[in-house]
Amino acid sequence: MRVVIVGDGKVGYTLAEQLSGEGHDIVVIDKNREVLRRLSAQLDVMVLAGNGASLKTQREAEVGEADLLIAATSMDEINLLCCIVARKLGCKHTIARVRSPEYNEQIYAMREELGLSMSVNPEWATAREIHRLLRFPSFLRRESFAKGRAEIVEIELKEGNPLIGKALTELEKTAGVRVLVCAVERGENEVHIPSGPFILLQGDKIYVTAPTANLALLVRNLQISRRRVRSALLIGGGRITYYLATMLLESGMEVKIIERRLERCEELAELLAKATIVHGDGTDKQLLLSEGIEQSDAIVALTDIDEENILLSMFALHLRLPKVVTKINRTEYNDVFRDAGLESVVSPKLLCASEIVRYVRAMQNRSGGEVLTIHPLVGGQVEAIEFEVTQSTRNIGRSLAEIRLKPGMLIACINRGGRIRIPSGKDRFELSDTLIVVAMASERISDLNEIFE
């Protein structure tokens, strides 16, 4: 497919890297020639210097012949204008990054007039991810499928966990609830999509598929429960903080926000009447202590500077706070963050890119089953993909024991009319079911039929 990306910031670069890696022809438009020069030296993409919202530049980039235009500049209005121009030129699909809370309702109501196939809001998606983590602080990550009815959660097997030394065939008996381990990260370089005889070891990070309704029981039976988050300290007052604070307050949590810009503090005080807003430097140790960081159930580092967020999180870990969440943009250092003890790391650009990659793979699909959601696991080395079973999907009605999957493929969950089933060999999938498939990310699966031998 031919994809045009307008904007070479964090999101634009991540998209160019992922989509070019999947074999698409990529053209990146940006005003900054130096940024484009570095991009073309690092990735196999075409670049064009110019204003991506102008008719002239889009014609030069042959946007009218493109399958998709993605507008990912820092300005919402420019992104919307890019999409309008692209549709006028004949581009088949357009996606805009729109971050402002003020535009949410308008975009939903005017999607057709704006020529949008889809809009993405990285800040809102990040806030939603953090909110889900704070609801179950025992999990390092949570990924949602089947309209929230099924999840894949990440758990570290620390000393004393009853799963240590057990084979996966003993999982249901030990956990006391039917779940499935779909991926295991062991040490720095080992990643497994395991089968029944696989033995779990202390220190493994396991990714467990379960119905959402069973998560509380899973936490209790595995003895990994941490105290419930009733109060959260948010450092930084940007858009993510606003979205997250709104969600937390609606959940009945106490929220305190530390922000260094006085004008932004005043805005947040008007928008979030029930939150406590503190004007000050969130990296100041004495200020944090005086504002009761040691009594907080959770700290969320949300400044615009990765180094500050890492420093804040390390301090919170030093104080042994129950839950620490860190926003990071430089995801190439994920291994370093993990070694440093940063368990729950979220990245707005990766959340945004994953949603757009899902849409691109759904566009590619010609048979087999539509891609509904994609979630990267194990630092992007594994993917969990949700497909809908269609008329052209192979092996409908056959038991899973009869079906031969390609090596390294796993059907982790079957959703039938909202009823979630962790499959065994006797189970079958039917028309209109949705399946969660787990595979190595290098497989780049865009069609459900690609998982079968």
Is the same domain home to 8 and 105?
yes
In a domain, 336, yes or no: no
For the ranges 166-170, 245-249, 261-265, which has the lowest average pLDDT? 166-170
Structural domain of 300: 231-321
Residues 109 and 119: beta-carbon distance below 8 Å: no
Is the same domain home to 308 and 252?
yes
Split at pLDDT 50, 70, 90, the class of 368 is low
pLDDT at 227 over 80: no
For the ranges 61-70, 154-163, 368-377, which has the lowest average pLDDT? 368-377
pLDDT at 309 over 70: yes
pLDDT in the model for residue 367: 58
pLDDT at 366 over 70: no
Average pLDDT, stretch 378-395?
90
pLDDT in the model for residue 57: 96
| Closest alpha carbon to 215 in 284, 165, 157, 144 | 144
The residue ranking higher by pLDDT, 300 or 140, is: 300
Percent share of the chain, pLDDT over 70? 97
Is the same domain home to 258 and 206?
no
Is the same domain home to 43 and 16?
yes
- What are 83-128's pLDDT values in tens digits? 999 999 999 899 999 988 877 777 777 777 787 888 999 999 999 9
Is the same domain home to 181 and 277?
no
List all residues 6 or more positions away from 374 whose beta carbon is below 8 Å from its beta carbon. 354, 357, 358, 361, 383, 384, 385, 386
- Please give the model's pTM, rounded to 2 decimal places: 0.81
Is the same domain home to 104 and 47?
yes
Average pLDDT, stretch 311-322?
93
pLDDT in the model for residue 365: 62
Residues 323 and 133: beta-carbon distance below 8 Å: yes
* β-bridge pairing 419-421 and 118-120: unpaired
The alpha helices in 285-347, defined as continuous H runs, are 285-290, 306-318, 334-339
Among residues 75, 105, 120, the one where a domain terminates is 120
pLDDT in the model for residue 351: 87
Is the same domain home to 116 and 130?
no
In a domain, 422, yes or no: yes
In a domain, 58, yes or no: yes
How many structural domains comprise the chain?
Answer: 4
Long-range contact pairs involving 388-391 (C-beta distance under 8 Å, separation at least 24): 388/432, 388/433, 388/434, 389/429, 389/430, 389/431, 389/432, 389/433, 389/434, 389/435, 389/448, 390/431, 391/431
In a domain, 97, yes or no: yes
pLDDT at 219 over 80: yes
